[in-house]
Homo-oligomer: A and B are copies of this chain.
Amino acid sequence: MEVKLILVEPQLGENIGAVARVMSNFGFTSLRIVSPRDGWPSEKAIAMAAHGAFVVEEASLYEDFHTAIADLNYVVATTVQDRYMEKPVLSPKKLSSLIGKVGLVLGRERSGLTNEEISYCDAIITIPTSKINPSLNIAQAAAICCYELSKIKPSKSQLPKQALRGDLKLFLEFLEGELEKANFFKNPRIAPTMKRNIRNYFTRSQMTDQDLKTMWGIIRALRGKN
């Protein structure tokens, strides 16, 4: 398993730096950043990272979330408790059985990840917090995730290596397009929810490359395109 941390639209350079520092504390060095609000590079991020500055300096910048996860096999979103119930909630033990490139996604400081973004994630990790003050600082959430990930010992039983998330997205766009043409989304009021449910199903269904190919063929055949 190869772990990438992905920050989606982080606001403060200090937070990016604090995330980088704690990643390096636990031996993780690959950081991806989607559209940091205050631009890039960030002096504040480098200063805050201290001995983890190399993680900031070697971070990859992305313009949007989908590009940042396109080459990954499994994507885990961090959310506050009970945020989103349709995804499997992952335990560190389960995480250890994943193979390929795994992304751990942390959302914006104030608003977290959108439901749209979460619908493209394979699973969520939830850190149980107090009702009095449930909202963790982003670098604290990163600290706890990295700490848990570093405790994991490789598991012998392995889940199948999933298709790249970019390939899955292409398939979902194709499927939605075909369903539009087939007048599947008749009611515009509930169409967004229906689309999200479809995305959620396919995202959690552990599709391999072969499964994806098969599904492309099935959709084409059903639409009389063979």
Contacts from A to B (Cβ < 8 Å): 18, 21-22, 24-27, 50-52, 127-130, 132-137, 139-140, 143-144, 147, 150-151
A26 touches B137 (CB 8 A): no
Residues on B with beta carbons closer than 8 Å to the beta carbon of A51: 133, 135
B21 touches A129 (CB 8 A): no
- Apart from A18-B140, A22-B140, A147-B147, list 13 A-B contacts with CB within 8 A: A21-B140, A24-B130, A24-B133, A25-B130, A25-B136, A50-B135, A51-B133, A128-B150, A136-B143, A140-B140, A143-B143, A143-B144, A144-B147
> What are 5 pairs between A and B in contact, CB < 8 Å?
A21-B133, A24-B130, A24-B133, A25-B134, A51-B133
Leading 9 A-B pairs by shortest Cβ distance: A27-B130, A24-B133, A140-B143, A51-B133, A25-B129, A143-B143, A144-B147, A22-B140, A25-B136
* Nearest opposing residue in chain B for A14, CB measure: B14
Residues on B with beta carbons closer than 8 Å to the beta carbon of A21: 133, 137, 140
* Nearest opposing residue in chain B for A132, CB measure: B24
Residues on B with beta carbons closer than 8 Å to the beta carbon of A140: 18, 21-22, 25, 139-140, 143
